[in-house]
Amino acid sequence: MQKYAIIVAGGSGSRMKSEIPKQFLELNGQPILMHTLRAFYFDSTELILVLPEPQFAYWISLCEKHSFIIPYKLVKGGETRFHSVKNGLDSIEGTEGLVAIHDGVRPIIKKEVIDNAYHLAAKHGSAIASVPLKDSIRVMNKEGNSHVDRVNYRLIQTPQTFQLQLIKKAFEAGFRQSFTDDASVFEFSGQKVHLFEGDYRNIKITTPEDLQIAETFLAL
């Protein structure tokens, strides 16, 4: 079955507070985004990179500088992550195949996790990488806050992988503020979300200390 990977990097990176967009910050001498794209480049997977249009020229200049020649389709980003993913999905012709949707700023992604994602999505319709919580959590409420049992919760990562036809249909219903990821869009369309074991090293580079953590993982 044809495999696609949509790598979304259309955000503004406001929490990183860096001058250059966080997807272009270097890890081990290469922009974060290059590590992420390379991880999905196998098995004739068709890659789609979603970037804000004003960043296209800068990205192309980085590719020349780093002799980065992996083939991919470049698609413009949208106002929110939902709109960026939608643009990526709309760029795929037809409805046959599997699509992994992955944050461009999660560069430490093992091939084993990606393989599992496609395999399980083919079987269940969806496959969402997740990990159990290591810390205690409390819920905030009118009384202040109270204990909740962490065994009932999971932290959700990407890749979030789907049968193409099902996820395209789900995104046609339109944007809602409550959507934080692709699994929430898929669930809203009435489909069942299938979780599988992700990886604690698959961090989302969001704030400055995440860069140091990612450097450490890459060195392993």
Ligand X SMILES: Nc1ccn([C@@H]2O[C@H](COP(=O)(O)OP(=O)(O)OP(=O)(O)O)[C@@H](O)[C@H]2O)c(=O)n1
Contacting residues toward ligand X, per CB under 6 A:
8-15, 50, 77-81, 84, 103-105, 204, 206
φ, ψ of residue 28 to 5 degrees: the values are 50, 40
Shortest reach from residue 17's CB to ligand X, in Å: 9
Percent helix / strand / coil, the chain, rounded to 5: 35, 25, 40
Query: Which of ligand X, ligand LQXTBERG, none has residue 10 at its interface (CB below 5 to 8 Å by kind)?
Result: ligand X
91 vs 206, beta carbon nearer ligand LQXTBERG: 206
Give CA separation, 41 vs 1, 45, 66, 71, 103, in Å: 16, 6, 17, 9, 15
Is the CB of residue 7 less than 8 Å from the CB of residue 102?
yes
φ, ψ of residue 174 to 5 degrees: the values are 95, 170
Footprint of ligand LQXTBERG (CB under 6 A)? 81, 103, 156-158, 180-181, 204, 206
31 vs 159, beta carbon nearer ligand LQXTBERG: 159
Residue 75 forms beta bridges with which residues?
50
Query: Which of ligand X, ligand LQXTBERG, none has residue 97 at its interface (CB below 5 to 8 Å by kind)?
Result: none
> How remote is the C-alpha of 17 from its chain's centroid?
20
Shortest reach from residue 23's CB to ligand X, in Å: 6
Shortest reach from residue 112's CB to ligand LQXTBERG, in Å: 19
- Please, is 36 exposed, middle or buried when counting C-beta atoms within 10 Å of its C-beta (0-12, 13-18, 19+)? buried
Query: Which of ligand X, ligand LQXTBERG, none has residue 12 at its interface (CB below 5 to 8 Å by kind)?
Result: ligand X
Shortest reach from residue 37's CB to ligand X, in Å: 12
Query: Which of ligand X, ligand LQXTBERG, none has residue 157 at its interface (CB below 5 to 8 Å by kind)?
Result: ligand LQXTBERG
